[in-house]
Amino acid sequence: MLDHPKVSNMSNIKKMKLYRHPERIYDDLNAVGYKKDAPLKAGDLASFDQYHYLGTEAVDDAISSLKISSKMKIIDIGSGIGGPARYLAEKTGCHVTALELQPDLDRIACSLTERCGLSGSVRHLCGDILDLPEKGGDFDAGVSWLSFLHIPDRAALLKKCYEILKPGGKLFIEDFCKRGELDQEETKILSEDTYCSYLPTAEEYKGQLIENGFTQVELVDKTDLWNSFVKERLDKFIKSRDRYAEVHGIEVAEDLEDFYKKMSRLFTGGNVGGLRIIAAKNPAAGRKTELGVEDLALKKSAFSS
C-alpha cells in the first residue's frame, strides 16, 4: 500500500495522464476565442476545468444536497485546477478554500480564479489534506470529487475531515468503490493509471465514516451514470481526436485517449463502481479552535515552493 501522497513523491500521481498537461486549458480557451489574461466567468471554463464525472451537474448536486448558501464556508479537497470551487463561489456566493496537492494545478487554478474575479471568494492552498494543522471546526461543509481514491489511509483522511468541519457540518464525496473482485488488468489500471492503491466497498466506506464519527451517512450508487459518462466521453474524444491534436499536440491527445480508454475499461468490467456519499458531523460535537488564515498560509508556503 502506498503512503498518502506527498509532494516528495509527486511523480507517482503524475503517472495519471489526466494530470500530466494541465496547462492544456489555456490552449482550450485560446481555441474558443479567449486570449491570454482575458476576463472570464466560471461558466466559460465549465467545459474544460471539471476533471470529475458529469461536470457542473455533479457540483449542482452538492449545492442542492448541502443547501450551500452565501453564508457558508466550504473546503474543496483535491480541487484540481479549481473548476468546482469557482463554480460554487460564482453560483452561490459562498467562500471556498480550494486545497490541491499538485503545485502546477494549484498555480493554474490561482490564475484562472483571478481572471474570473473570484479571488475574494476562492482561496487556493497547495498541500495535503492530511497535513492541515491539528485545528478544526471552521467549515460548514467539505466537498470532494474523485480525490479520496488517491489517499489509501482512509482512517486518517476521514478523521481529518471530521476535525475541520463545524458541528453539524456535512461532507459530500464522489468516489470510486469496489463492486467485485478486481482482475489483474483492473488492479494495474487503478494502481498505475488512477493512482489508487486501495478501494473499499460501499459498505466498507460507510463503516469507515461511522467509525470516524460521522452520522446520517447516505450512499447513492452512481455506477450506471458514470459508466455511461466514461463511454460517451471516450466516443466523443475519438471523434474529435484530430482536432484535439491540432490544438494540443499529439502527445497530449495520446495521453488523454489512453486515460479515457482505461477508465472506460474499469467501469465496463463491472468491478469498479461510483458512489455519491453525504455524511454529517454530530451537531453536539465539541467545537475546536478555528483554522486561522495564518495556519493555512503556512502550509501553502510549504507546498508552493
The tens digit of pLDDT for each residue in 123-182 reads 999 999 999 886 668 999 999 999 999 999 999 999 999 999 999 999 999 999 999 999
- Give the pLDDT confidence score for residue 14 in this predicted structure: 81
- Give the pLDDT confidence score for residue 284 in this predicted structure: 82
With a CB cutoff of 8 Å and minimum separation 6, the contacts of 90 are: 41, 42, 43, 116, 118, 121
At 299, is the pLDDT very low, low, confident or very high (cuts 50, 70, 90)?
A: very low
First to last CA, the chain: 28
At 303, is the pLDDT very low, low, confident or very high (cuts 50, 70, 90)?
A: very low
Q: Is 259's pLDDT higher than 90?
A: yes
Mean pLDDT of the chain: 90
Q: Is 47's pLDDT higher than 70?
A: yes
Which run of H or E residues covers position 52? none
Q: What is the dihedral of CA 105, 127, 157, 134, to 10 degrees?
A: -160
Q: Is 5's pLDDT higher than 60?
A: no
Q: Is 297's pLDDT higher than 70?
A: no
* Alpha carbon 186 to its chain's center: 21
Task: For residues 274-300, give the mean pLDDT.
Answer: 67
Task: For residues 207-231, give the mean pLDDT.
Answer: 98
At 294, is the pLDDT very low, low, confident or very high (cuts 50, 70, 90)?
A: very low
pTM: 0.90
80 or 9, greater pLDDT: 80
301 or 209, greater pLDDT: 209
Q: Are 97 and 126 in contact (CB under 8 A)?
A: no
Read off the C-alpha cell for 132. 492541515
- Give the pLDDT confidence score for residue 89 in this predicted structure: 98
Q: How far is CA 1 from CA 40, 109, 191, 199, 201, in A?
A: 42, 30, 10, 11, 17
Task: For residues 182-211, give the mean pLDDT.
Answer: 97
With a CB cutoff of 8 Å and minimum separation 6, the contacts of 227 are: 267, 268
Kindly tell me the sign of the dihedral angle through the C-alpha atoms of 197, 202, 204, 208. Answer: positive
279 or 305, greater pLDDT: 279
